[in-house]
Copies of this chain bind each other. A is one copy, B any other.
Amino acid sequence: MKVKEGAGVLIVSPDEKTYLVKVFSGKSMGTHLGEINLGDAIGLEYGERIYSNLKHAFLVLEPTLEDRMMKLKRRTQIIYPKDAGLILLKCGVMTGMRVVECGSGSGALTMALANAVAPSGKVYTYDRREEFCENARRNIENAGYSDYVEFKHREAQAGFDEEEVDVAILDLPSPWDGIPAAAKALRGGGRIASLSPTYNQVERCVERLGQEGFVLIETIEVLIRSIRVARGKTRPVDRMVGHTGFLTFGTKALPESPSD
């Protein structure tokens, strides 16, 4: 695969600092190891190198979903890959699905959802804060996922336009406020995931899920531990992220029909 004019690439310095940039002829970038001409990357294979004016080699890579999520322009605490990965798996998000997300935040999870439903599915993402919508929209556009995402500037209590969606994701300060709307939008057997940093939010969220008839409700947290690997000196890393948030999952059961 060759790098094209305008492509988003991950530039990696010899000491493994990474930069997510778009390459254009004539565009240059300063680094701690000299200036690099980003236009030099055009036409290269991913995995090849460009050189700074100080003769240091910088790798040109295709960014992964993780790179894009971690390096987007943040206006909020973002969803981490460790959490996003498990949400995708546990909700069974896959190509062709229709997903409602509320709120959009900085678009990190939106991106992961879009990546999973592409090319035939769609993510409908709501946020009540206009400037967040705009920032998320730009992030999604930059990452090339615009075809799979529709942005809506609205709060959860006002309800969602979609019906019979496969998955609903809530990333709200008061997730319980969004649960009735999510329940209404979901198809029978559809899955819901809610992210919250505090125990108190989780408690109210789980209670409300039960009231709205969700089943298979469970709450977990995901911890990541990095290992510093070196021959004869392998050990866990000194510092780690201690908490991002709790993930609560549920499945929509349809109401029992009166004739039952």
Residues of A within 8 A of B (CB): 1, 12, 16, 18, 45-49, 51, 57, 59-67, 69, 81-82, 84-92, 94-96, 112, 115-116, 118-120, 187-191, 197-200, 202-203, 206-207, 215-227, 229-244, 246, 248, 251-254, 256, 260
Q: Is the CB of A198 within 8 A of B235?
A: yes
Given A203-B234, A219-B229, list of 12 further CB < 8 A pairs? A47-B187, A49-B253, A57-B260, A61-B189, A64-B92, A82-B85, A85-B86, A85-B89, A88-B89, A199-B234, A200-B232, A238-B243
Q: How far is the CA of A12 from the CA of B253 in the complex (A)?
A: 10
> Does more than half of chain A's interface fall in helix, strand or loop, or is it mixed?
mixed
Q: Is the CB of A47 within 8 A of B222?
A: no
What distance in Å separates the Cβ of A92 from its nearest Cβ neighbour in chain B? Answer: 3
On chain B, the residues within 8 Å of A246 by CB distance are 227
Q: Is the CB of A189 within 8 A of B239?
A: no
A47-B187, A241-B239 given; A89·B81 CB < 8 A: yes
* A85, A187, A190 — most chain B CB neighbours (10 Å): A85
A187-B1, A189-B62, A260-B57 given; A226·B234 CB < 8 A: no
On chain B, the residues within 8 Å of A206 by CB distance are 229-230
On chain B, the residues within 8 Å of A81 by CB distance are 86, 89-90
A47-B189, A65-B89, A238-B243 given; A225·B233 CB < 8 A: no
Q: Is the CB of B226 within 8 A of A223?
A: no
Q: How far is the CA of A91 from the CA of B65 in the complex (A)?
A: 8
Interchain residue pairs with CB less than 8 A apart (28): A16-B215, A45-B189, A47-B251, A47-B252, A47-B253, A47-B254, A48-B188, A49-B254, A49-B256, A49-B260, A66-B90, A67-B92, A81-B89, A82-B85, A84-B85, A84-B89, A85-B90, A94-B118, A197-B235, A199-B199, A200-B233, A207-B231, A218-B226, A219-B229, A220-B224, A236-B243, A240-B242, A240-B243
